Amino acid sequence: MTLWCRIEHEGRPRAGVLEGESIRLHEGSCPLAPGAATGEETPAAGARWLTPTAAGKMVALWNNFHAAAQKNGWAIPSEPLYFLKTPQCFAAHAQPIPQPRAHDGRVFYEGELGIVVGRTCRAIAPEEAEAHIFGYTCVDDVTAMELLTRDASFAQWTRAKNFDGFGAFGPVVATGLDPLALRVRTLVNGRERQNYGLDDMIFTPAELVARISADLTLEPGDVIACGTSLGVLPMKPGTTVEVVIEGVGVLRNVYG
């Protein structure tokens, strides 16, 4: 397993590998094509983290866990239900998630697994999907929940999901692991609020990559947020949210 990251080092983006408390730097600026290791190391503590890929888009799932569907009375979907998050809403590990300027309603965290696409995907077969996945990351799919249904004539998914900072992911991309063996934990000011197994997904990562690629082209570095399960709650300004996936890492951001 390798933990790839991207940091700002000496004024420019650099790809690196997180090993314990240090980051080993590589020649390139992107973990998907990093170049050779340079022999340089820098402490992880105090690093200026960037999102681990310069993703062009995040495809985010809704209703992708059996437990949440059962509790909320939702039907099990026959195909992935998703929306898009734009690069303007992305936030890296340790970056703040600002309060929206044009919305004063409640804002919710959603701890999730993120799939990082490694190769261009266009209508690929399910058996090809694993070869197109570079690795996995932590995601906080932040939502201004009350905006979704405030106007009965139009569900505002784009607005509710795309305020600045509402697409946090990182700090690393982990390669060489089985995502279905992992659990997602979300800590709010140190208190565990979410703890769910990824083997409860309705559509597995490979299924998501294949089926979404039938609708739109996925590019290297794009992220698919696999959806969340039980335990989603609103945040107050000043709240620290940590999305913890053992083997992947800890994504930490402060809201407001």
Instruction: Report d(CA 225, CA 208) in Å as an integer.
Output: 10
Q: Sort 106 into a burial class: Cβ within 10 Å, 0-12 / 13-18 / 19+.
A: middle
Residues 25-42 have a mean pLDDT of: 95
Q: Looking at residue 209, which CATH number applies to its domain?
A: 3.90.850.10
In total, how many domains does the chain have? 2
- Give the model's pLDDT for residue 13: 96
* pLDDT classification of 173: cutoffs 50, 70, 90: very high
* Domain C-terminal end among 32, 50, 68: 50
Reduce the DSSP state of residue 221 to 3 states and report it: coil
Q: Are residues 43 and 57 in the same domain?
A: no
pTM, to two decimals: 0.97
Q: Are residues 24 and 93 in the same domain?
A: no
Q: Are residues 42 and 132 in the same domain?
A: no
- Give the model's pLDDT for residue 41: 96
* pLDDT classification of 148: cutoffs 50, 70, 90: very high
Reduce the DSSP state of residue 154 to 3 states and report it: coil
- Give the model's pLDDT for residue 202: 98
Residues 88-92 have a mean pLDDT of: 98
Q: Are residues 38 and 61 in the same domain?
A: no
Percent of the chain with pLDDT over 90: 99
- Give the model's pLDDT for residue 5: 98
- Give the model's pLDDT for residue 154: 97
Q: Are residues 25 and 106 in the same domain?
A: no
- Give the model's pLDDT for residue 157: 97
Structure token pair of residue 157: 């998914």
Contact 17, 35 (CB under 8 A): no
- Give the model's pLDDT for residue 250: 98
Q: Are residues 127 and 144 in the same domain?
A: yes
Q: Are residues 11 and 116 in the same domain?
A: no
Domain interval for residue 32: 1-50
Reduce the DSSP state of residue 124 to 3 states and report it: coil
* pLDDT classification of 53: cutoffs 50, 70, 90: very high
Q: Are residues 57 and 35 in the same domain?
A: no
Q: How far is CA 195 from the centre of its chain?
A: 16
Paired strand residues for 59: 84, 224
Contact 174, 2 (CB under 8 A): yes
